[in-house]
Amino acid sequence: MSNDHTNGHTPPAPASSNFLRGIIETDLTAGAYAERKDSQGQPLPQVVTRFPPEPNGYLHIGHAKSICVNFGLARDYAGRCHLRFDDTNPEKEEQEYVDTIIDSVRWLGFDWTDNTGEHLYFASNYFDKLYEMAEYLITAGLAYVDSQSAEQMTANRGNFGEPGKDSPFRNRSAEESLDLFRRMKAGEFKDGEHIVRARIDMASPNMNLRDPAIYRIRHAHHHRTGDKWCIYPMYDYTHPISDALENISHSICTLEFQDHRPFYDWLLEHLSSAGFLQKPVPHQYEFSRLNVTYVITSKRKLRQLVDEGIVDGWDDPRMPTLVGIRRRGFTPESLQLFCDRTGVTKSDGWIDMSSLEGALREDLDPKAPRASAVLQPLKLIIDNFPEGETVACHAPVYPPAHPEHATALRHFPISKTLWIEQEDFMETPVKGYFRLFPPSADKPGSRVRLRHGYVVECTGFDKDADGKVTAVHCTYFPDSKSGTEGSANYKVKGNIHWISVAHAIEAEVRLYDRLFTDPHPDAGGKDFKAALNPDAKKVISAYLEPGLKDAQPEQRYQFERHGYFIADRVDSQPGKLVFNRTVTLKDSWLK
Ligand code: ATP
Ligand code: MG
């Protein structure tokens, strides 16, 4: 396919242009896929992509990239994207995984339904057609049944730089192969006794063209087709045909499939020429995988974390699975932003975890409702505040950038005894410390503003027998209340948050951080468990402002001065709140 714009049409470069967009725009200009019709004779979109997971595990951050690329291109070029389960491996696949994958793709914000219906497919639905095409390939002399043992087959496959050797069964007649294939299907043989291979070239420099296997015997129950089949098509055979049957135009995958492309093309060329598949056939394009620092995505290693109880399950908020990332509090928008920004290239590289966290901050900063939370509580007693009284205070729910900033208010009372953060008091202040400290020989006690409340002056503190500060004392200035005229007369450098003790809501807060301390925990065969971050989860009991009493699961907030938090979707309920810290306000991992 040519990539030049010789007809003079140079499409405008979209915001985040990349080589896939370039290819699609060239194809659109040339009308490469303009003539195709669906089975009802209706014209097909010129851009049809697919996201093709194998239902053998949970989706992770890397899959999010592939989902955003495929669904994103379809969206941007008036096409459509299919969700297809590549379910050709009966032993490893389960309905449970199908369900969670569907959930995760929807949660990410994508949909496979358009005005022509739902485009959710299963490769297993094509088993009859795949079988029929395999019979054709055998009949046409393009495939044969091989009866070598697995060991012989491996030995005869050769190596890089060393050609393979033809199987002694390679010249079997089409009739004999076809008979054996039918008997394989009928269940006459044990697993591994025979295999169907494409007849291409045992000396090809590309190992994938050395008579690749296309069908194997597996006496196994399939989660969708049950016990109907005891032979199953290979992934490399199924994938191109599924693409073609679904009229995919641009079949986008990761770089490790580059060497599989010649077989993809070989197969579709033969089957379309024989009339099984519509022309023009789909084309495969590869881009580099997304690798994120501090993250592992190997299914085997993730499973190990779950099985060994190192994390609390697949949806543990420390996991890079989409169910974990969701539970942690990341928004679909932040993931889309992150995936768009990381771009589409052909060179492998690492993306820093901080860019995912940055995308979340960017997404939530203008829109997350604000709230006060005291995570490390210390009592502040306003000695001159009348006992038993309260004064109403309020603050905007939303930040200044939000359209409802001026109107939506949160209400909370101030009273004599408040919770403040331990770190907002220092018995002996260090230089530049502007929060609470007591009077000393050479300095009066500090003055700070209790946000949205009054200015107070620190007068002293209490200590217990162990020398631990148990309460801080202050006096307040009744004419200093935020929002009143008098407040302007008080200029203070410190500004701290607080919650009235009598009105505070107690909540469990789970402070999550990165699961690993090493940016490349499993690089070069390293023991990834040696790099586990012991502080990746800390559970504390905290105080929240009273308005959060009815916070619903998955509700997100910015806890002022702390970070972004979400009510846990599994464990939180009104009356028994559990919040997860998604990220802190600032990147604490910056060197
Ligand atoms: P397996 O090891 O089981 O093959 P997989 O991660 O490749 O796991 P699939 O279900 O085959 O899982 O992947 C579905 C799609 O997601 C494929 O097209 C694959 O290329 C893509 N994908 C998987 N990991 C990444 C990644 N890190 N970056 C971009 N795309 C990815
Ligand atoms: Mg795969």
pLDDT one-digit tens code per residue, 213-261? 999 999 999 999 999 999 999 999 999 999 999 999 999 999 999 999 9
Q: Is the CB of 62 under 6 A from ligand 1?
A: yes
Task: State in Å: Cα 259 to ligand 2 middle.
Answer: 14
Amino acid at 221: H
The answer, yes or no, to whether residue 5 has pLDDT greater than 60, is no
Residues of the chain above pLDDT 70, percent: 97
Ligand nearest the Cα atom of residue 51: 1
Q: How confident is the model at residue 349 (pLDDT cuts 50, 70, 90)?
A: confident
Q: Is the CB of 59 under 6 A from ligand 1?
A: no
pLDDT value at residue 385 = 98
Domain boundary among 206, 233, 260: 233
Q: Is the CB of 288 under 6 A from ligand 1?
A: no
Q: Are residues 216 and 167 in the same domain?
A: yes
Domain boundary among 207, 233, 259: 233
**Annotated binding residue at 54?**
yes
Q: Is the CB of 297 under 6 A from ligand 1?
A: yes
Q: Which helix (H) or strand (E) holds 475?
A: strand 469-476
Q: Are residues 457 and 527 in the same domain?
A: no
- 36, 54, 92, 560: the active-site residue: 54
In a domain, 441, yes or no: yes
Pairwise CA distance, residues 455 & 75, whole Å: 53
Using the structure block, give the residue that is written with the tokens 């203070």.
Answer: 492
List, in order, residues 6 or more apart from 309 with CB less than 8 Å away: none
In a domain, 304, yes or no: no
Q: Are residues 387 and 499 in the same domain?
A: yes
Pairwise CA distance, residues 561 & 299, whole Å: 36
Task: State in Å: Cα 381 to ligand 2 middle.
Answer: 60
Q: Are residues 471 and 545 in the same domain?
A: no
The answer, yes or no, to whether residue 3 has pLDDT greater than 50, is no
Q: Are residues 491 and 571 in the same domain?
A: no
Q: What's the alpha-carbon Rg for the chain, to the nearest Å?
A: 31
pLDDT value at residue 16 = 58
**Annotated binding residue at 289?**
yes
Question: Is 170 an active-site residue?
Answer: no
The answer, yes or no, to whether residue 82 has pLDDT greater than 80, is yes
Say if residues 250 and 20 touch (Cβ distance below 8 Å). Answer: yes
CB-based contacts of 215-222 (< 8 A; 24+ apart in sequence): 215/134, 215/181, 215/184, 216/191, 216/192, 217/184, 217/189, 217/190, 217/191, 217/192, 217/193, 218/90, 218/91, 218/191, 219/187, 219/190, 219/191, 220/90, 220/91, 221/90, 222/87, 222/90, 222/93, 222/124
Q: What is the CATH number of the domain that holds 132?
A: 3.90.800.10
Question: Is 54 an active-site residue?
Answer: yes
Return the closest-CA partner of residue 379 out of 272, 501, 533, 296: 501
SS3 252: strand
Task: State in Å: Cα 576 to ligand 1 middle.
Answer: 38
Residues of the chain above pLDDT 90, percent: 94
Q: Are residues 509 and 495 in the same domain?
A: no
* CB contact burial 239-272 (16+ within 10 A = b; e otherwise): bbbbbbbbbbbbbbbbeebeebbebbebbbebbe
Q: How confident is the model at residue 6 (pLDDT cuts 50, 70, 90)?
A: very low
Q: Are residues 567 and 462 in the same domain?
A: no
Question: Is 328 an active-site residue?
Answer: no
- 75, 165, 299, 451: the active-site residue: 299
Q: Is the CB of 289 under 6 A from ligand 1?
A: yes
Q: What is the CATH number of the domain that holds 570?
A: 2.40.240.10
The answer, yes or no, to whether residue 42 has pLDDT greater than 60, is yes
pTM of the model: 0.93
Q: How confident is the model at residue 501 (pLDDT cuts 50, 70, 90)?
A: very high
Q: Are residues 496 and 384 in the same domain?
A: yes
Q: How confident is the model at residue 191 (pLDDT cuts 50, 70, 90)?
A: very high
List, in order, residues 6 or more apart from 248 with CB less than 8 Å away: 48, 49, 50, 82, 282
Task: State in Å: Cα 53 to ligand 1 middle.
Answer: 7
Task: State in Å: Cα 70 to ligand 1 middle.
Answer: 13
156: domain range?
128-233
Q: What pLDDT, in 10s, does the model give residues 401-422?
A: 999 999 999 999 999 999 999 9
Q: Are residues 528 and 578 in the same domain?
A: yes
Mutating to test ligand 1, I would choose from 51, 63, 108, 256 the residue with most ligand atoms within 8 A of its C-beta, which is: 63
In a domain, 480, yes or no: yes
Q: Are residues 476 and 397 in the same domain?
A: yes
In a domain, 276, yes or no: no
Mean pLDDT (the chain) is 95
In a domain, 565, yes or no: yes
The CA distances from residue 525 to 61, 240, 469, 515, 560, in Å, are 21, 33, 48, 18, 41
Q: Is the CB of 84 under 6 A from ligand 1?
A: no
Ligand nearest the Cα atom of residue 256: 1
Instruction: Write out the two tokens for 153.
Output: 């087959």
Establish how many alpha carbons lie within 13 A of residue 188's alpha carbon, considering only the half-sphere containing its beta carbon.
Answer: 9
The answer, yes or no, to whether residue 10 has pLDDT greater than 60, is no
Domain boundary among 217, 233, 249: 233
Q: Is the peptide bond before 280 cis (omega within 30 degrees of 0)?
A: yes
In a domain, 29, yes or no: no
> Rounded to an integer, what is the distance from CA 78 to the centroid of its chain?
25
The answer, yes or no, to whether residue 8 has pLDDT greater than 50, is no
In a domain, 186, yes or no: yes
In a domain, 244, yes or no: no
**Annotated binding residue at 65?**
yes
Q: Are residues 168 and 197 in the same domain?
A: yes
Q: Are residues 536 and 499 in the same domain?
A: no
SS3 138: helix
The answer, yes or no, to whether residue 12 has pLDDT greater than 90, is no
Pairwise CA distance, residues 86 & 63, whole Å: 14
Q: How many structural domains compose the chain?
A: 3
